[in-house]
Amino acid sequence: MKTLPNTQLFLRQGIVELGWGHPDPAMLPVDDLAAAAAETLARHGRDALAYGPAQGPGRLLEAIRARLGRLEGVTPPAEQLMITGGTSQALDMLCGQLSRPGDVALVEAPSYHLALRIFRDRGLRLVSVPGDVQGMHVETAAALLHMLRSRGERVAFVYIVASFGNPTGASLAPDRRYTLAVIARREGLPVIEDEAYGELWYDAPPAPPIYNLMPGGPITRLGSFAKVLAPGLRLGWMLASPDLVRRCVGAGVLDSGGGVNHFTAHIVASLLEQSRLDGHVERARASWHSRRDTLLAALARFLPAGCTWSPPLGGYFVWVRLPAGLSAAALLPAAEAAGVSYLSGERFFIEGGGQHYLRLSFSLLSPEQLEEGARRLGEVLRTALGVRR
């Protein structure tokens, strides 16, 4: 009988898997979470094992508010905060609150491909907004909004990863953040700001989140413990207008089942109360910083002329542009036969585009594997281009 998997990650023998955007399992804070879980059961066991309040347990809401206040200088009011089952669950929940099937969602080109799946599952029509190394062209988003509205279409929201995006690693420039906040308010346009990688900066912190420019307004900010602690926790948080938080908290599913991932939320509250998160984030940052540098150096050494990339200042990914004439998807079978894999660019675009790009992740593999992966990729590209070393 086939063994059923215990994790989503599936690594193939003999292939350097540069495609997975998962953290290295060796970096997951098992000991910190064991201590937090023991404390939760010893001191909060009866609360943690009961149904939870729909907004999330007060202990965790307080701990997140205090941490944001300490890190960002502004403590968000409790009525603007809610615990989520991670960003993916929050995106699905927000689709339910902000959209109807057939509405349009404006997304970046390229955009986090699995968010696009969530929006499609909800019957949304996706319209992409072009961008560059400074992030989305926000004025183009406003022009598209007017055009779509003039045709009688309903635009439900804009979805954006403003800091260290997936797949490009690019961040939205500070002036564009401001302009987008102004457009959102002027047009009554909800913006969903996915901040999955905001804390994972390697050179300097990113610009403040768009949400902080206009707290409690049309911008909804999604934080996740997936990248700063562990994805299996399925836990995150949402900052939004008090009205939107009220509507989400009032959903029937939470009335019936209580707040999402309540037991895990108590464990993470204990971890935060024990001041264990900041140390872990610092260790994770240092490790990924060095892996990023290793991958960038290996790409510079092994990839043929004509390949280009912008060094990401944070996050998990390097977005490589191939020389003209090469298609990442067409090359993938040869790459895997040569023992290296990646995600090809068109997955991150809605309709066509991205053929000349591939996404490499430095979050999962060791420095040695990253170097070997870059070497194998270089060989494959040279063969495809007909150039010798």
Ligand X SMILES: Cc1ncc(COP(=O)(O)O)c(C=O)c1O
Q: Which residues bind ligand X (CB under 6 A)?
A: 21, 86-88, 112, 161, 166, 194, 196, 224, 226, 231, 236
Q: Are 83 and 53 in contact (CB under 8 A)?
A: no
Question: Rounded to the nearest whole angstrom, what is the least distance from the CB of residue 310 to ligand X in the complex?
Answer: 17
Residue with smaller CB distance to ligand X, 197 or 302: 197
**CB of residue 261 to ligand X, shortest distance in Å:** 11
Closer CB to ligand X, 49 or 133, in the complex: 133
Q: Report the residue number, 6 or 150, with the smaller CB distance to ligand X.
A: 6
Nearer to ligand X, 68 or 161 (CB): 161
Q: In terms of C-beta distances under 8 Å and separation of at least 24 residues, what long-range contacts does 76-81 make, across chains too?
A: 76/215, 76/239, 77/216, 77/242, 79/242, 79/245, 79/246, 80/215, 80/216, 80/239, 80/240, 80/241, 80/242, 80/245, 81/55, 81/56, 81/237, 81/238, 81/239, 81/245
Integer CA distances (angstroms), 76 to 58, 202, 214, 245, in order: 14, 26, 12, 13
Nearer to ligand X, 224 or 241 (CB): 224
Residue nearest to ligand X (CB): 86
Shorter beta-carbon distance to ligand X: residue 196 or 380: 196
At closest approach, how far in Å is the CB of 88 from ligand X? 3
Nearer to ligand X, 331 or 364 (CB): 364
The Cα-based distances of 170 to 276, 314, 348 in angstroms read 29, 9, 14
- The least CB distance from residue 60 to ligand X, in Å, is 15
**CA gap 111, 167 in Å, rounded:** 7
**What distance in Å separates the CA atoms of residue 110 and residue 348, rounded to the nearest whole number?**
5
Q: In terms of CB distance, is 346 or 371 closer to ligand X?
A: 346
Q: Which is nearer to ligand X, 190 or 231 (CB)?
A: 231
**Closest distance of CB 81 from ligand X, Å:** 16
The angle subtended at Cα 100 by Cα 99 and Cα 105, nearest 5°, is 50
| Residues, the chain | 389
Q: What is the DSSP string of 27-90?
A: GS-HHHHHHHHHHHHHHHHHHHTSPPPTT--HHHHHHHHHHHHHHHS-PPPGGGEEEES-HHHH
The answer to whether 101 touches 156, Cβ cutoff 8 Å, is no
Alpha-carbon gap, residue 210 to 113, rounded angstroms: 22
Beta pairing partners, 95: none
CA–CA separation, 373 and 297 (whole Å): 12
CA-based end-to-end distance of the chain: 46
Min separation Cβ 159 and ligand X, Å: 10
> Which CB atom, from 206 or from 236, has the smaller least distance to ligand X?
236
Task: Quote the least distance from Cβ 162 to ligand X, whole Å.
Answer: 10
Min CB(263)–ligand X separation in Å: 17
Compute the Cα dihedral for 93, 97, 100, 106 and give only its sign: negative
Q: Which residues fall within 8 angstroms of residue 192, CB to CB, at 6 or more apart?
A: 91, 94, 157, 158, 159, 160, 220, 222
Q: In the bound complex, what is the minimum distance in angstroms from residue 126's beta carbon to ligand X?
A: 15
CB of 87 to ligand X, least distance (A): 4
